[in-house]
Structure 1
Amino acid sequence: LGLLLLLEEMIKLLQPLAMGRLIRYFRFDKPLSMQEAYMALIALSLVSVLIPLIHHPYFYELQKKGLELKVAACGMIMQKGLQLSSSALHKTTVGHIVTLMSTDVAKFDMMFIFVHYLWLSPLILVSYTVMLWREIGFSSVVGFGALIVLVPIQGYFSRMMGRCRFVF
């Protein structure tokens, strides 16, 4: 499934390239031939059709796997709840079990959807930086550096907001 996402992201990378070629057709200083413009238009159309054809089966399969894991986790929680002794039942509230089965287990769905971006995001970032380097030069590296600096800062603020949520 990760390879489907990689293929989708590679096709998404072609979209701005095809659009750039199509826009060059309308420029006065370096116009493209009519045939090159049609090729760019066909490429742009194909990309627009292929992205949903790849994305939706990928997303469906990940949703299905996440739901299977969610059902398995709920089953394990239920089985463990049935095996608890009476003294342990007095220590565990119904609200805690409901929270485990609803909000905590629901995070499995999100994990399956976004887990492939852990390895794919650096590749995407480098690909777009190289593409931007070809178009605008050194400024793209500055933007890439800003993203690298901002990721840990965003992580810090996210943890801080998580702590504030429990306080208030």
Structure 2
Amino acid sequence: MGKRSRTGSPATPATRVLAERDVPITVHTYEHDPAITDFGAEAADKLDVSAERIYKTLIVEADGSLAVVVIPVHARMNRSGVAAALGVKRVHLADPAVAERKTGYVIGGISPVGQKTSLRTVIDDSCRAHATIFVSAGRRGVDIEIAPADLLAVTNGDTASLV
């Protein structure tokens, strides 16, 4: 099981932004296994949290612009739902190198908070069913537990049906 703390937790751009804005969070850490590429399933397992509460951050290209999509780790992105939410015709996952360069985070550790380039953010409306959800803190093996309303406020995000 992972460790839970705020004091002494790893500093990332995401945790710094949340601290500066006095957003209540709990930082959860676990030992990331480099052989695992299903980062969300690993987080759910190692933190002993239902996969429905763990959300992944995807960077998508939407008609030439980039956007952030946050969906449950166990779900697949519904491209037409994402396109409708963003008001575009088509979306696809951004090239991983572009996603890393624009966010300042590595794949598997991209946080919706504290990105190098501010991007439009849309979060799946299923987040409202939970008091708190888990998103990456900006590093593999480090997640933030946060109220959906706080995540929406800090990212200036919207909700929509994305899965």
TM range (shorter): under 0.3
Which has a greater percent of strand? 2
TM-score by length of 1: 0.18
Provide the TM-score with structure 2 as the length reference: 0.19
Higher helix content, 1 or 2:
1
Q: Which has the higher contact order (CA 8 A, sep 6+)?
A: 2
| Pair member with larger Rg | 1
